[in-house]
Structure 1
Amino acid sequence: MTIAVTTPTGNVGSRVARLLVQAGERPRLLVRDAAKLPADLRPHVEVAEGDLLDEAFVTDAVRGVDALFWASPESFGSPDPLADMVRMGANAAVAVRAAGVARVLQISSVGAERRKGAGLIDGLARNERQLAETGADVLTLRCGYFFTNLVGMLDEMRAGSLTTTWPLDRRFAWVDPRDVGEVAAARLLAGWSGSGVAAVHGPVDLSWGEVAAIVSAATGREIEARTITDGELRDLLLSAGLSEAAVAGIVGMTAGVRDDFTPEQQRDARTTTPTTLASWAFGTLRPCLADEV
């Protein structure tokens, strides 16, 4: 079985690639910069170097594969990240049809079931439709909020706060991307027939207030969650140099699943994964902040 893996240096894709190798497979890794792949992994994989925005590259890279792991990479620095996501999804769909790929596992997000009105998540919703229309057996994993998003908030934590536009007591799914990678690798190795949607919701729903308390205990720092408005978030992102389109996508993403929204896939034994935020924060955030405590 030949499995192609996109984003093999990302938080999810890197875990998928390594687990496939450990299972005895030789995956084909679609990567923009092959130099970023771990040196110990390279002898055990095929490498296709190129850009997912290049239709010809994607089509050539998936020829002869039995299954494709597809994740649209984040491109917040792009002038129009949403347009990039849609274009990459279109390229994936063309490639799957041209190469006759039998199965596709796509990484999506909680909120994609809204189809419209959730900022950058709308791009994932569009990707879901693009891949569904190929005729392949498509398994979509709609994931909760990644723990790793907190890494981008280190400066805030150094200042003693975590800011959000959500109510501080509103709970939602938080998940370790490594756990997402493990679910994805297991499904790719087991195979499946037909198409469907599953969820990866992490161990427990958490509010931002609870997240701040957990991170405080794990890092030894006093960190308080505080709410800001959508307008304040927009101003912060623009001041950081993001484009108007990128800012609209990010603000819309948080606002679109904030009010009157319930995930289509409910939490149960199939959607719950083991890694806690406390253990992840102790292992990942604490070392980043340890020299400043």
Structure 2
Amino acid sequence: MTVAVTGASGQLGRLVVEELLRAGVTPVAIVRDPEKVADLAARGVDVRPADYDDAAALDRALSGVDRVLLISGTEFGARVTQHTNVIRAAERAGVELLAYTSIPKADQNSMILAQEHRGTEAALAESTVPHVLLRNGWYWENYLGGLAHAIESGVLHGAAGAGRVAGASRADYAAAAAAVLTTDGHAGAVYELGGDERLTYAELAQVISEAAGKQVRYEDLSEAQYAAVLEGAGLPGPYAAALADSDTGIVAGLLDVDSGDLQKLIGRSSTPAAEVFRAALA
């Protein structure tokens, strides 16, 4: 069985490759720049260059592949077209299973970040390739970018109110993807993936406090206020708006996942937020 991982040079992709290697599967790593994964090639990983915009390169990359993980791209606004290119290449290659990293409740999720996931899921529904949806919840690592500022200032800003986030570590989601790629019976499945901890931002601030050994409190803002804070911290306006909108989605319960799917796939509890934060601070 040949298993391919797209975006294998990225943070999630590398972790999935490592999980597959631990499972005894030597994967195909599909990347834009092979030099970024020279270390994987040195370990025997089959590295194939391809860009989501290059149909011919995707055909070459998926040649002989049985199963593929399509990790969602990062070019917002272009992702549905790019993902569809991979789906079409998978159809031409006769791939037996395509797993896609989506977002919780994508078919009904009103968040800005969900729109292209919903479009990709629609493209998969219309395709002939058997597929499985990995609707990954929030990564605790999503909060690392603002961790130092929160600790230094003593304030975690957000617009999530009393909404809850069922987060997990990036490694947890990678383990789930690897499990799906290396076992049978997943075609047609929709996995809503979220961690054991379902934290409000006030509780998240307390976890940060304990990890840092310094008190951090949560300050709840309006969506517009929070977007302004993010933009003031240097984020591009559209991205700041999307993140603030995601907090509004948290208020609506869109990232509060209690399905247990993640735990069933990985065979254990998810990684606590405190562990992720302590590792980052170390």
What does residue 248 of structure 2 align with? 255
Deviates most, 193-202 or 254-263: 254-263
* Residues 265-280 of structure 1 mapped to structure 2, 5 A cutoff: 266-267=259-260, 270=264, 273-280=269-276
* Matched AA of 2:191: A
Q: Which amino acid aligns with 2:89?
A: A
C-alpha RMSD of matched pairs (Å): 2.4
User: How many residues are matched?
Assistant: 278
Question: In the alignment, which residue of structure 2 is the partner of 1:165?
Answer: 159
Shift of 1:263: 6.0
Correspondences of 1:108-119 after superposition (within 5 Å)? 108-114=102-108, 117-119=110-112
Q: Percent identity?
A: 26
Inter-partner Cα distance in structure 2 for 1:43 and 1:205? 38
Aligned partners of 1:178 and 1:150: how far apart in 2? 15
Choose 202-211 or 273-282, whichever is displaced more.
273-282
Query: Aligned equivalents of 2:143 and 2:256: distance in 1?
Result: 22
Distance in 1 between residues matched to 2:256 and 2:124, nearest whole Å: 21
**Residues 222-244 of structure 1: per-residue CA shift (max 9 Å, x gap):** 22111122112332344455555
Distance (Å, rounded) in 2 between the aligned partners of 1:218 and 1:242: 26
Please state whether the residue corresponding to 1:226 is helix, strand or coil.
Answer: strand
How far apart in 2 are the matches of 1:74 and 1:45? 24
Secondary structure of the residue aligned to 1:104 is strand
Do the aligned partners of residues 236 and 56 (structure 1) sit closer, same or farther apart at CA in structure 2, a change above 3 Å counting?
A: farther
In structure 2, the residue matched to 1:175 is 168
Q: Once the two structures are superposed, what CA deviation does each residue of 1:179-234 show, in whole Å capped at 9, x if it has no partner?
A: 11111111111132531201221122111111111111112222211112211233
2:188 and 2:125 mapped to 1: Cα distance? 8
Letter of the structure 2 residue corresponding to residue 180 of structure 1: Y
What secondary structure does 2:259 align onto?
coil
SS of corresponding position for 1:37 = helix
Counterpart amino acid of 1:90? T
Equivalence for 1:93: 87
- Give the Cα–Cα distance (whole angstroms) in 2 for the partners of residues 40 and 5 of structure 1: 13
Note the C-alpha offset of 1:248: 4.2
Q: How far 1:255 moved relative to its partner?
A: 2.5
Residues 111, 247 of structure 1: alpha-carbon distance in 2 compared, 3 angstrom cutoff: farther
Structure 1 residue 147: deviation in Å?
0.7
TM-score (norm 2): 0.88
State how 1:149-164 maps to structure 2 within 5 Å: 149-157=142-150, 158-164=152-158
Moved more, 190-199 or 231-240: 231-240
Question: What's 1:13 paired with?
Answer: 13
Q: 2-side partners of 1:15 and 1:128: how far apart?
A: 23
Residues 177-186 or 273-282, more deviating: 273-282
* Contact 1:28 1:48 survives alignment (8 Å): yes
Gaps of 5+ in 1: 76-80, 288-293
Q: Which runs of no fewer than 5 residues in structure 2 stay unpaired?
A: none
Could you say which residue in structure 2 is the equivalent of 1:290? none
Query: What is the CA-CA distance between 1:111 and the residue it aligns to?
Result: 3.7
In structure 2, what residue type is equivalent to 1:280? V
Correspondences of 1:29-178 after superposition (within 5 Å): 29-37=29-37, 39=39, 42-75=42-75, 81=76, 83-114=77-108, 117-157=110-150, 158-167=152-161, 169-178=162-171
